[in-house]
Amino acid sequence: MSLNYKLNHRFQEKDERDYTYSVKMDETHKLEIITKTAKGVTTTTTQTPKTSATFSISNLPSIVNQGKIGSCTANAFYFTVMQQTKNQIPLSRLFLYANCRCLDNTPLNQDNGTYVRTVCNAILNYGVCKETVYPYITTNFANFPPLTSYKNSNQFKKFTYTFLAQNIATMKNCLTTYNVPIVFGFMVYSSFMSNTVSTTGVAPMPNTKTETLEGGHCACIVGYDDTAQRFTCANSWGTSWGNKGYFTIPYTYLTNTSLASDFCFTTFVY
């Protein structure tokens, strides 16, 4: 299998203005929630399922394929919005990626990727049209979206985003409480690009001293398995990659601040 996907997810700096969601758990599984959430995002003291539990969010949409451009972040948001709207809003990934590059001051003819926060700000500032209005044709990535796409970009009556603390209790509690994917970015090393991972979907913990850093990527957490100590994630490289488009990744990979960051979930009214 050819693994020529662009790996140019951009990792953002922390911003004190961000809404945050953080959970701590003591030895009795009692949760303490320390959070600065968006209005309308409720917190809960519901316990995360005990050790050795597994969980997967419901209503998972179809896996998409980003193709040969670095639009992984836009593809991840497409996936989470499709899950939350039960496939009613297939947002235009090309529209979103173009507006992100405008906000990042990146020329449209440069395929440099974007940040998670930029995607959220693009939706807040410009909205987003459906893919039926502006289709995902990757050869058009350098074009400015047509005027009709902006006239049809009012898909959300309200849109908020919240960043998560980078610990297992927070991620698991967010999944079980809100039943929505968690968008995140991670450093990709050569082992992730191997034929083994592309056929099994089982990502190893990389050896950062001996492996090559290939770049950054963005995906969605959709479940976890305490027995295996792994998160299940949706990729955007089509269904022929991994386990029908999904992969599992060690807890220790995603809780390592040198390897992963930008954990985010969205809530909206449409």
Residue type, 197: V
User: Is-contact 25 45, C-beta < 8 A?
Assistant: no
- The predicted model scores a pTM of 0.91
| 233 phi, psi to nearest 5 deg | -130, 150
For residue 212, the model assigns a pLDDT of 97
268 or 13, higher pLDDT: 268
- Indicate the average pLDDT of the chain: 91
Helix and strand element counts for the chain (H, E) = 7, 10
Residue 37 in this model has a pLDDT that exceeds 70: no
- pLDDT-derived band at 23, boundaries 50, 70, 90: confident
Q: What pLDDT was estimated at residue 18? A: 85
Q: What is the pLDDT of residue 22?
A: 85
Helices (H), the chain: 72-84, 93-103, 116-126, 147-151, 168-178, 195-200, 251-254
pLDDT, tens only, 122-157: 999 999 999 999 999 999 999 999 999 999 999 999
Residue 24 has a pLDDT of 74
pLDDT at 120 over 60: yes
Mean pLDDT (whole number) for 91-96: 98
In tens, the pLDDT along 204-255 reads 999 999 999 999 999 999 999 999 999 999 999 999 999 999 999 999 999 9
Place of tokens 């979103």: 96
pLDDT in tens, 167-213: 999 999 899 989 999 999 999 999 999 999 999 999 999 999 999 99
For position 241, what pLDDT does the model report? 98
- Report residue 182 CA to chain centroid gap: 6
- Residue 25: predicted pLDDT: 66
Q: Which domains does the chain have, with CATH numbers?
A: 49-56+164-263 (3.90.70.10), 69-161 (no CATH)
The tokens describing 72, both together, are: 């992984």
